[in-house]
């Protein structure tokens, strides 16, 4: 958390010096700030030969981001969804989820998977 805090403060100062829009700064910094702890857990698990922790971290993060953040956002205000999102993004998200399920049906994910 401390590392993410330093990342957010330093990056926002650099972006402000470069005259980048505050909206872009906020969106980008939040994205990096929330991903930094997950990245450090995945890197540490990789170095300790525990790839299952990294995979669980990625899957759990995606579940939390999609269900919790999207769910809370929709409680606060109705979400506007375009037809393009329904036609392209939703099938890809479902397909990738089914692909992960298919690859992990034997109880493990290998490099080939």
pLDDT of 69 reads 76
pLDDT of 100 reads 84
pLDDT of 80 reads 79
CA 57 to chain centre: 10
Q: Flag residues of the chain having pLDDT under 70.
A: 1, 4
Per-residue 3-state assignment (H helix, E strand, C coil) for 6-61 = HHHHHHHHHHHHCCCCHHHHHHHHHHHHHHHHHHHHHHHHHHCCCHHHHHHHHHHH
Which residues have C-beta within 8 Å of that of residue 9, sequence separation ≥ 6? none
At 80, give phi and psi (nearest 5°). -90, 125
Q: Is the pTM of this model over 0.75?
A: no
């Amino acid at each position: 958390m401390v590392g993410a805090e330093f990342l957010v403060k330093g990056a926002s100062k650099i972006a402000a010096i470069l005259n980048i829009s505050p909206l872009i700064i906020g969106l980008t910094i939040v994205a990096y700030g929330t991903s930094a702890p997950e990245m450090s857990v995945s890197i540490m698990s990789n170095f300790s030969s525990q790839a299952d922790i990294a995979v669980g971290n990625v899957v759990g993060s995606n579940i939390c981001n999609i269900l919790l953040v999207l769910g809370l956002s929709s409680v606060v205000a109705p979400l506007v969804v375009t037809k393009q999102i329904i036609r392209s993004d939703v099938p890809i998200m479902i397909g990738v989820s089914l692909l992960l399920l298919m690859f992990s049906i034997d109880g493990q994910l290998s490099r080939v998977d």
